Chains A and B, each alone.
Chain A
């Protein structure tokens, strides 16, 4: 096995006005416990704020959490801005209350994976571990 040179760095972000931060915080903590470097943005971040933070912090992946229904506007915007900033290699995952029919549209917009309610933490951890493989 090849030792991983550096810790995987993940930005956990809350885009938009949604204040439900329980899930984002639980995920942040699970990733930290799994040995990753986690940066939590806090609430009410614009897609611009999130992309700026991701680039500043040199993260491998971003986890977006939204439970307010604004995911179709906010998630694709993050991917679009990352590409614009030539940082399209940063993996983007989404989570929250997201209707099944939105999932293919989000994937098409560049969201690698969408985690719905009841997703085991180990599945989320496993996804972010893949973000380090390319490094």
Chain B
């Protein structure tokens, strides 16, 4: 996918979305994966799958973004080893792993382990990355999913930055110099319907981050103060009714992100309320970006609306709301205790319900859904995953398990287990296990046995 930045020429980068079993650290042939293969993205259960995925792509030249969280260090290790086999060192690789576990407990819910061992795995990647892969973004601190799960703009801002600061605290507690890892922290925000509110959100985010990094965390390098972010238009705003009008919604949302200074942008395809996009819909989404970049002129000026009385006051308002939330989180004992108490989850569920109620009561108009309705069924071609590719994937896994060096494999997992039980950095151990052809599911099993699994507070 091409991306387009506010002030950069278009560049080619790749974005990988994984299927549900991969996101939860299951191999394709595990019982938990039944019915889920390839439906939401690609399955990567082994090093060989990773090799196949990047066959014919020069990983030394592209930038690869991988939407992966709980098993992020394992998937990253597979990418690093696949590159290593082609003689490309980690230091040459550019890309991003999402690796933001805190928002998983709060919103996206693709968690495996409890918060503390999960945070350790994240900091392991910070430490490893700062030494060996300095061009890699080891985390993308994501408000996107918090918003998609139902939060308001203010909550998205507050929770995301609270999470960001929590990662910084953990990095510092590990003994890392803040300026060694902070410049590699990146952010990911939603671009929703309310143009000015979104703009103000991005501006407030930059303001808060710069202040906190400089004053609270004592970062000296100005690069540590910069909040660099990716934006994606709001998937949740797409309507199944009259889907073509989603093109207009997406354009306005993308405009907010560009005016708000996003470093990169993803525009959703208009058919995504139904399915993984078809090619024609994906092309229109890309063309939307290109019109903004090359025809509209909006990317030519930094903070073009700065100074507008309305935008400035809205920015102040959101900033104040965020600090109010920081205080409440503090009162609850910090981000992780607040997760255990279900604080974020309940705040988000409350906002989601309020939003839906507003639609029901027509206090909020959603064109084509609760007003300006037409009675017609859109015709869309759904995407199906072939049985043949599932069979090939399962056979590949069986062959790997049958033909690999069993001793080397067992030894690598044993070392990993010992590392997890102690306080070693897990990254080199995961890399060794990947080299020994351990699968994703096998590596995660070792961690699950050592770290335990998360059980979330039940609430709605």
Contacts and interface: CB of A to CB of B under 8 A. Distances in A.
Contacts of B274: 97, 99, 117
B149 A22 contact: yes
Contacts of A68: 20, 36, 39-40
A74 B35 CA distance: 7
Contacts of A43: 109, 456
B273 interface: yes
A75 to B, nearest CB: 10
B356 interface: yes
A64 to B, nearest CB: 13
B109 A40 contact: no
Contact of A97 (B239, B275, B356): B275
Given A26-B356, A70-B34, 19 more contacts: A12-B460, A17-B20, A19-B108, A19-B110, A21-B109, A21-B149, A22-B150, A22-B349, A28-B460, A29-B460, A30-B353, A38-B460, A42-B458, A43-B109, A70-B39, A73-B34, A99-B274, A99-B275, A120-B360
A99 B278 CA distance: 14
Interface residues of B, number: 40
A29 B460 CA distance: 7
Contact of B353 (A16, A26, A70, A101): A26
21 contacts: A17-B21, A17-B32, A19-B108, A19-B109, A21-B109, A25-B352, A26-B150, A26-B349, A26-B353, A29-B353, A30-B353, A42-B456, A70-B34, A73-B34, A97-B275, A99-B275, A99-B380, A100-B377, A118-B239, A118-B366, A122-B360
Contacts of B65: none
A67 B285 CA distance: 22
Nearest to A28: B460
A104 interface: no
Determine which residue in A19, A30, A73 has the highest number of CB atoms from chain B within 10 A of its CB, and name it. Answer: A19
Contacts of B34: 70, 73
A37 interface: no
Contacts of B273: 97, 117-118
Q: Number of contact residues on A: which range applies?
A: 20 to 34
Contacts of A73: 34-35
A116 B356 contact: no
A126 interface: no
A78 B61 CA distance: 48
Nearest to A74: B35
Nearest to B356: A26
A87 B289 CA distance: 53
Interface in A54-85: 68-70, 72-74
Interface of B is mostly: loop
Contacts of B356: 26, 30, 121
Interface of A: 12, 16-22, 24-26, 28-30, 38, 40, 42-43, 68-70, 72-74, 97, 99-101, 116-118, 120-122
A134 B427 CA distance: 58
B344 interface: no
A83 to B, nearest CB: 20
B343 to A, nearest CB: 15
A15 to B, nearest CB: 9
A78 to B, nearest CB: 12
Contacts of B360: 120-122
A72 B35 contact: yes
B11 to A, nearest CB: 31
A47 B46 CA distance: 28
Given A19-B110, A69-B40, A118 B458 contact: no
Contacts of B236: 22
Contact of A118 (B26, B150, B240, B456): B240
Contacts of A38: 460
Contacts of B35: 16, 70, 72-74
B23 interface: yes
Contact of A69 (B23, B33, B36, B460): B36
A72 B35 CA distance: 8
A17 B110 CA distance: 8
Contacts of A18: 20
Interface string B222-261: 0000000000000010011100000000000000000000
A17 B23 contact: yes
B144 to A, nearest CB: 13
A17 B24 contact: yes
A25 B241 contact: no
Please give me the 9 A-B residue pairs with the lowest Cβ-Cβ distance, nearest first: A73-B35, A69-B39, A19-B109, A70-B35, A25-B460, A17-B20, A117-B240, A99-B382, A28-B460
